[in-house]
Structure 1
């Protein structure tokens, strides 16, 4: 098994006043040739958006974009005609394909919204843009990996899908719990991101917002720390 560790405080950081953001991989003005991507996982941004503020209309193409609100709610509008609210506990996907314009705004005027913005390279270019979202079942992530995203061919009830051979799972583990993760496909890697608490994998201690890439294995064991852990696992092709 091979691992690559990214401490939370080693991420790129920018505070624009209305947006306080941390970048696991190179993004915007943050550039690190050693941290451009993890396989087809291109962007992992940890965003805080001020009350009533947000991202104005802007374009994307040929990228799979995933948003996961961690606190608060986001209002989404796009050129496909969607006007929705992405709430804490939801997962949203957007295939930009041939091109889409969208905006995201903090729904609340009295508090921040915190969400993960994730970009994945697609396995097909110039697809028809599409949008989907669902409310994740919090009960299913208790001491287990709840799969929330999969490729189209493997998507089942309770998952969204993207144009890539990727699998995302979220688990909330009690203190001291040992949990195995088994890869869906040979040659994939898993990037773990600690949403809450702490954990250990292969002797590596992980705190909140730390990241760990795991490759060259078929499975690994995660041990939740003394305060428990909530973890996002992003399994992706490495080429």
Structure 2
């Protein structure tokens, strides 16, 4: 198994159960070959670091992710991804700072991920369209808004109608989120909801599913798309390193 020069810095990608991949042909950051180093019952994926600090550019982030995905695709599916940009001085630092204090936790996470994969569902909507649909379903609120459209309004009235419209829109967003959660959660062993990154994002969920169940999950996502009759844009990522389910 290849080992690093003890005097050079190392860039770490992830952790698998020892002994790890025996014949890797993967290129990582700085076009450096990815290697494997065993520390007891763990094996670390690494390459020689050519920089002290790595910019979180799109190219670098994709290179980091590509290493993890290729290793998983080659059969090492239980993989703990490490955060982007992790550069260490040597294996002694890794042993002292990570392995010794957290070994039991790391082994438990590897066991939990055995036979699992992370998939992600992001749902985008058109808030203006949803508000219009919501008002059609709520004629009393629509009438209030229409009455105010051409009339001079005081601050209190403006605030009141604004809050009512915001509440209506949030209720519709929650209804969308609950629909996706109710349909997809039974197919997963765990679920994490992420932040809504833009005002056009209505739902952001990650699911931990059995590796072989992905086609069934994908079909359910397709059925949800049909349920909403094209009102939503769904971005489905059917394979990613399980960042959302390995946090210590």
TM-score, length of structure 1 as denominator length: 0.26
Q: Larger Cα Rg: Structure 1 or Structure 2?
A: 2
TM-score, length of structure 2 as denominator length: 0.25
Which has the larger share of helix? 2
